[in-house]
Amino acid sequence: MAYSSEKTQEKRRGFLDPRTKLALVLVLALFVMGGLGGDMLKPVKTGLSALPFLLLLIERQWKRFARGIVMLAVGYGLLFIMPYLPGALNYIALLCGGILTRFVVTIVMGEYLISTTSVSEFISAMERLHMPQAITIPMSVMFRLFPTIGAEWKSIRRAMGMRGIYLSGTKAGQVLEYQMVPMITSSVRIGEELSASALTRGLGAPVKRTNICRIGCRVQDGLLLFLCLAVIAIWILELCGVTLW
């Protein structure tokens, strides 16, 4: 059968719309990490905290799921053993535990967003949120360059090994220089060639850009967005002094 780009795009569509993921990250950041809301939201927050882990499972991101759980467990473990530790260790355990338990959930959510959203999906979502080209163009260039910069970094490290330049305590500054200068030089050169090629294909034209990437709200998005709104509603009710439970 002949190839159909439209059908393939539809098939490759993500489980959630990137905008839903964005809303979830925001709500988690505000309520779980930022600590908005009082007693009434407490059970809600516990439920919210489980959400990123659930989503990772749905999308079969086993490794990320395991890593998140381990980090969370370490955090709570530290808080649990903290009272039994002497002096300075006590503080360190406490601080690490406190920060981990607080930040991990939202960071896992962020990781979920990043790992399950393709660059084109993300840019498409940004465009539909009416972000100006002044934001979407640099961001798409960045996403395109991240892997390249990583590869350059690796290639430079190898070259240093071959030239016999190793990281040793005394020369840390020099090693940083040796690493950074070629990395920046080659990244900038690659970036220049990339711009030339993009501009000859009409990037930056003053027309409304199309995006063939398929995104859009479906049932699962609706449910989760409703959940986000519900959390905010409960918070507002609480602020107004209404007690629900």
Partner 1 sequence: MVELKNVSFRYGNEETQVDNENCLRDVSLSVKTGEFVLLTGPSGCGKTTILRLINGLIPQFYPGEVIGDILIDGEETKDKELYDTALKVGTVFQNPRTQFYNVDTTGELAFGCENRGLSEKEIYTRIDKTVAHFHMEKLMDRSIFHLSDGEKQKIACASVDVSDPDIILLDEPSANLDYDATLLLREMIVQWKAAGKTIIAAEHRIAYLWDIIDRAVIMRDGRIVRELVGSEKDGLTPDELYSMGLRTTMTESPSDIQKDTFRKEDTPITLKKFRFSYRGKKQPIVNIPLLQLAEGEITAIVGANGAGKTSLLNCLCGLEKHCKGKLQYKGKNYGRKARRKLCFMVMQDTGNQLFTESVLDEVLISLPKNTVHEKEKALELLQSLDLSDYTDRHPQSLSGGQKQRLAIACALASGRKILLLDEPTSGLDYAHMQETSALLQKLRDMGTTILVVTHDSELIHACCGRSISL
Partner 2 sequence: MKNENKLKGRDLINIGIYGAIYFVILFAVAMLGMIPIFLPLLSVLVPIVGGIPFMLFLTKVKKPGMIFITAMIMGILMLLTGMGPWPLLTCAIAGILAELCVGSGKYKSAKKAVLSYGLFSMWIFGNYLPLFTDYEGYFAQRADYGQAYIDAVQKLMPLWMAPVLLAACFICGILGGLLGRALLKKHFEKAGLA
| Partner that binds at residue 99, options partner 1, partner 2, none, CB closer than 5 to 8 Å by kind | partner 2
Size of residue set near partner 2 by CB under 8 A: 66
Q: Which residue's CB is nearer to partner 1, number 103 or number 153?
A: 153
- Residue 90 touching partner 2 (CB under 8 A): yes
| Partner that binds at residue 222, options partner 2, partner 1, none, CB closer than 5 to 8 Å by kind | none
- Residue 22 touching partner 2 (CB under 8 A): yes
- List the one residue from 22, 26, 69, 211 that touches partner 1 (CB under 8 A): 211
Backbone angles phi, psi at 189, to 5 degrees: -65, -45
Nearest-angstrom CA–CA distance, 127 and 18: 11
- Residue 208 touching partner 2 (CB under 8 A): no
Identify the CA nearest to 125 among candidates 19, 214, 50: 19
Nearest-angstrom CA–CA distance, 125 and 164: 47
Size of residue set near partner 1 by CB under 8 A: 57
Chain residues that interact with partner 2, rule: CB under 8 A: 22, 25-26, 28-30, 33-36, 38, 42, 79, 82-83, 90-92, 94-96, 98-100, 102-103, 106-111, 113-114, 133-135, 137-142, 144-146, 149-150, 153, 176-177, 180-181, 183-185, 187-188, 191-192, 194-195, 198-199, 203-204
